[in-house]
Amino acid sequence: MKLIEEYADKVIASGAYDPLDRVYVMNKIRGFVGDEDVEASGDQPLVAQLVDLAVKRGKIEDGQTAREILNDQLYDLMTPRPSVVNHLFWEKYQQSPATATDWFYQLCTSNDYVKVAAIKKNVVFDKPTKYGNLEITINLSKPEKDPKAIAAAAHDTKKKYPQCALCMENEGYKGRLGQAARSNHRIIRMTIGGKQWGFQYSPYAYFNEHCIFLDSKHEPMKINRQTLVNLVEIEHQLPAYFVGSNADLPIVGGSMLAHEHYQGGRHIFPMMKATIKKPLKFADYPAVKAGIVNWPMSDIRLTSADTAQLIDLGTHIIDVWDHYSDEGLDIKAFDGDTRHHTVTPIMHRDGDQYVLDLVLRDNNTNDQYPLGIFHPHEKLWHIKKENIGLIEVMGRAILPARLKDELNEVKKFWLGAANKIADSHLPWAKEVQSRVDITKDNVDEVLEQELANIFANVLENAGVFKDDAAGQAGWDRFIDQL
């Protein structure tokens, strides 16, 4: 079949248009790629062929940004309007929340908003540590920024539209240099905490059904009582998903502090499987089961079917931690008016029980640790130097793409082959080699296990109360204060 005809039939089969609209849809496609149809090839997806055709005919320039924009415009043809998507979602929600999210996720993968083919390139494995199995990913899916966009941004001082990548104004936005194409993007409207929020999936997902809940207003992130109220409401509406927030301070926070949002999805993280190492009792909150979690980061877990008591106790812990200092452990709440303490709150459901993990965070620096006292320390930077955000707090490492090639050179070094091992990896590689017998048969296993061990160390660095006598004494002092 001809290429334009075949894609028009696919658009109609998606349900976005009726068969009567076929000529109209074909003309929409012609507007993007030119009038003359050509034979379709079975070698690559139809949209990729159409984008190549548009480049060949000079309809768009042969550049990363122009290709992404046209790709998403073509997929937008098989995506219902936002009002229709929202109507269908909430109609299916009446059957069950899972029916609605299953449908919406299928829509977002079939229309290439969730970049399934790119996500499959990621390296993913898990290995045992003393904290249970930790999950390691090397992120190869998210494309590097367009060099032209980087150059343009250096001289661009105009106010942006949309203001950030999370704003609702991205829905249907064509895109430009430095601003992602979003023609095929759809957002479900929800009421959370009495305000309008949005629910969408992440284009470059780090785990199954990775989603984002975003405030309809572009306002900075903040962790407080309202955060816990919002997490409870999300869990009430979508009980099969976990939901959590990055911390609201630099160093310990995520990469997007300017827009209030949470992340969620259908995944059971290592931290969720971790056991309680020390039960806690709070007499004023008898309906809440509490304890310190056996985890490298400093986590208090609260479990209850009584969400009012859960929110009250969670708020109490957040408020006390915000002003708590233990300078013998380098834990310091304030420098003047500058706040250094917050939490990473994460919630999931276990039947009728709401499970809230509150991970204590401190973003202080000193001369020895200029990037953060409770941040990956310098000897680990060759593997992980970036901030420890929500996903990594829960035990899933997001490692940079550079490591794929760099670690292949490490393996060559271990096997005595010609290599170009980076100087940053050499001390670690020699240390591993000194204690492990590495062969061609086990080199991949050794590498994966050592990466998991390093990630465990990264999380230990980020914990405010260490797993030693001093850390345990620090926990006891903080619990007394609570």
Give the pLDDT confidence score for residue 160 in this predicted structure: 86
Cβ(293)–Cβ(300) below 8 Å: yes
Give the pLDDT confidence score for residue 417 in this predicted structure: 98
Mean pLDDT taken over the chain: 95
Sequence-distant (6+) residues with CB within 8 A of 222 are: 248, 260
Pick from 219, 231, 125, 122: which is nearest to 449 by CA?
A: 125
Residue 356, Cβ neighbours under 10 Å: how many? 26
Q: Per residue in 427-481, pLDDT tens?
A: 999 999 999 999 999 999 999 999 999 999 999 999 999 999 999 999 999 999 9
Whether 21 shows a pLDDT value over 90: the answer reads yes
End-to-end alpha carbon distance in the chain: 70
Q: How confident is the model at residue 157 (pLDDT cuts 50, 70, 90)?
A: low
CA distances from 460 to 181, 308, 358 (A): 38, 32, 16
Give the pLDDT confidence score for residue 254 in this predicted structure: 80
Give the pLDDT confidence score for residue 144 in this predicted structure: 64
Give the pLDDT confidence score for residue 257 in this predicted structure: 92
Whether 150 shows a pLDDT value over 60: the answer reads no
- Cα dihedral value 150, 151, 157, 163, nearest 10: -20
Read off the DSSP letter of residue 117. H
CA gyration radius, the chain: 25
Mean per-residue pLDDT for 273-292? 98
Read off the DSSP letter of residue 286. T
Sequence-distant (6+) residues with CB within 8 A of 394 are: 244, 269, 270, 271, 272, 346
Q: How confident is the model at residue 156 (pLDDT cuts 50, 70, 90)?
A: low
Helical spans, DSSP H, in 111-259? 116-119, 147-153, 225-237
For the chain, give the percent of residues with pLDDT over 70. Answer: 97
Whether 364 shows a pLDDT value over 60: the answer reads yes
| Token output for 148 | 């032209």
Q: How confident is the model at residue 152 (pLDDT cuts 50, 70, 90)?
A: low
Q: Per residue in 176-223, pLDDT tens?
A: 988 999 999 999 999 999 999 999 999 999 999 999 999 999 999 999
Note if the bond before 162 is cis, omega within 30 degrees: yes
Read off the DSSP letter of residue 333. S
Q: Per residue in 375-419, pLDDT tens?
A: 999 999 999 999 999 999 999 999 999 999 999 999 999 999 999
Give the pLDDT confidence score for residue 256 in this predicted structure: 87
Determine the Cα–Cα distance for residues 141 and 399; give it in Å rounded to an integer: 12
Burial category of 352 from C-beta neighbours within 10 Å (exposed 0-12, middle 13-18, buried 19 and up):
exposed
What SS3 class is residue 128? strand
Domain ranges for the chain, please list them. Answer: 1-62
Pick from 105, 10, 79: which is nearest to 50 by CA?
A: 10
Q: Per residue in 69-123, pLDDT tens?
A: 999 999 999 999 999 999 999 999 999 999 999 999 999 999 999 999 999 999 9
CA distances from 120 to 113, 124, 224, 234 (A): 14, 9, 37, 29
Pick from 27, 53, 369, 390: which is nearest to 231 by CA?
A: 390
Give the pLDDT confidence score for residue 147 in this predicted structure: 63
